[in-house]
Amino acid sequence: MKVLVVGGGGREHAIAWKLAQSPRVDKIYCSPGNAGIAEIAECIDIDISDHEALLDFVKYDWIDLTITGPEEPLTKGIVDRFEREGRRCMGPVKEAAMLEASKVFAKEFMRRYNIPSAEYKAFTSYLHAEEYVRMKGAPIVIKADGLAAGKGVFVAETVDEAMSALRLIMKEKAFGPAGERVVVEECLGGEEASYLVFTDGKTILPMASSQDHKRVYDNDEGPNTGGMGAYSPAPVVTPEVEKKIMDRIMKPAIRGLKKEGIKYKGVLYAGIMLKDGEPYVLEFNCRFGDPETQPLMTRLDADLLEIALSVTDERLHEASIGWRPEASVCVVAASGGYPGKYETGKVITGLDEVKNMKDIVVFHAGTAYEGQDIVTSGGRVLGVTALGSDIREARDRAYEAIGKIHFEGMHYRKDIAGRAVGAHR
């Protein structure tokens, strides 16, 4: 079978890497891909927002399945377009992807179906939002309503920080139309976890638990990013907690969508806050997480192609899923200055040395070829991912490997999975 992966980050590299292990996959294409993906797939230069061009390619090359990594094509209706032409494209339709495209939509949906989440109010007026923040005090969470590449959420420790976030979103238009509305939300204390499931709208097949690290600096300091590292499993998600997540969040979400005439097919991701052992939804995403996909794919003990086909063909009840007993840790190497301004074109060294290390996979995110050299081409550059008998061993291996890689301005957190093992590097 031929498969097209849409996207060019670490998540898409991990998806392509896992697909390449399927005996039924003959050829993988990726648009636009990156230098790492190019080693296992044919990269094609089609803009991922050009759904017609992608569809033409799929028709011309007889592609059997398309898997879309990033949220934007999903929220713009790529699945709807492909399905109208009878083409398999794993992911939710545009209406279902509103769970991620609009935080206001998601919050209202959760309220309708009694899915546990933080208290909130939505605003289109800066003055009204400001007035509400002053009344509620801090800490408080400010969120741009629309898509902001993981950077539109601000956990404000003071009222002044909250005002700065409101100004950035609503007055300075840092996230464009995504900031026309804001959600002001109570700040839930506790520990975060990521919980992802496959679903065909009827059956729900849970993935292993994982945990992301959003802030750019150690000790969860600095601005939010797309994610600076992740690990799986997340010890905080006990079997008891997992049952609560499934019964109170995932099943009601899929049932609620179905009740509203929306069939959700694809990956549903819930960002969870665990407070006193009780799960609350911080946000829904309508696709694989990045960087959670990297440790999840290294642990997945099943054929990703078969699962994806069973999702698109609405026969997920026939699929089975297993997980390697080892833990996996991914540490992201980012360009200096990320998530703000950063330079690209920096030569990356050490990749060949790391290739020979046992149980290490380097997933490329923002990389490109410049002649014979692999150079940086994005904010998040690499996701160095390691397996180990437990989180501590996987973490040690990941940091040993990333220590061999270098590019000018390279930055990475030194405390990924530190909370899980009670240690910092």
Q: Domain of 52: which CATH number?
A: 3.40.50.20
**pLDDT on residue 148:** 85
| Tokens describing residue 261 | 């005439």
Domain region containing 50: 2-91
Give pLDDT tens digits for 255-309: 999 999 999 999 999 999 999 999 999 999 999 999 999 999 999 999 999 999 9
User: Cα(311)–Cα(201) distance, rounded to whole angstroms?
Assistant: 8
Which of 49, 70, 91 is the last residue before a domain boundary?
91
Task: Tell me: pLDDT of 73 over 60.
Answer: yes
**pLDDT on residue 150:** 72
**pLDDT on residue 408:** 98
User: Cα(370)–Cα(85) distance, rounded to whole angstroms?
Assistant: 38
Mean pLDDT confidence for 63-83: 97
**pLDDT on residue 420:** 86
Task: Tell me: pLDDT of 425 over 60.
Answer: no
Q: Is residue 387 part of a domain?
A: yes
Asked whether the beta carbons of 414 and 341 are under 8 A apart, the reply is no
Mean pLDDT confidence for 73-90: 97
**pLDDT on residue 421:** 82
- Taking the whole predicted model, whether its pTM rises above 0.75 is answered as yes
Q: Are residues 310 and 361 in the same domain?
A: no
Q: Is residue 44 part of a domain?
A: yes
Percentage of the chain exceeding pLDDT 70:
99
Q: Are residues 281 and 380 in the same domain?
A: no
Average pLDDT for the chain: 96
Which of 285, 300, 318 is the last residue before a domain boundary?
318
Give pLDDT tens digits for 134-159: 999 999 999 999 998 777 889 999 99
- Strands 2-7 and 27-32, bridge-based pairing: parallel
Percentage of the chain exceeding pLDDT 90:
96
Which of 74, 91, 108 is the last residue before a domain boundary?
91
| Count of domains observed in the chain | 4
Q: Is residue 174 part of a domain?
A: yes
What is the pLDDT confidence band of residue 360, given thresholds at 50, 70 and 90?
very high
**pLDDT on residue 424:** 41
How many Cβ atoms from other residues are within 10 Å of residue 345's Cβ?
A: 12
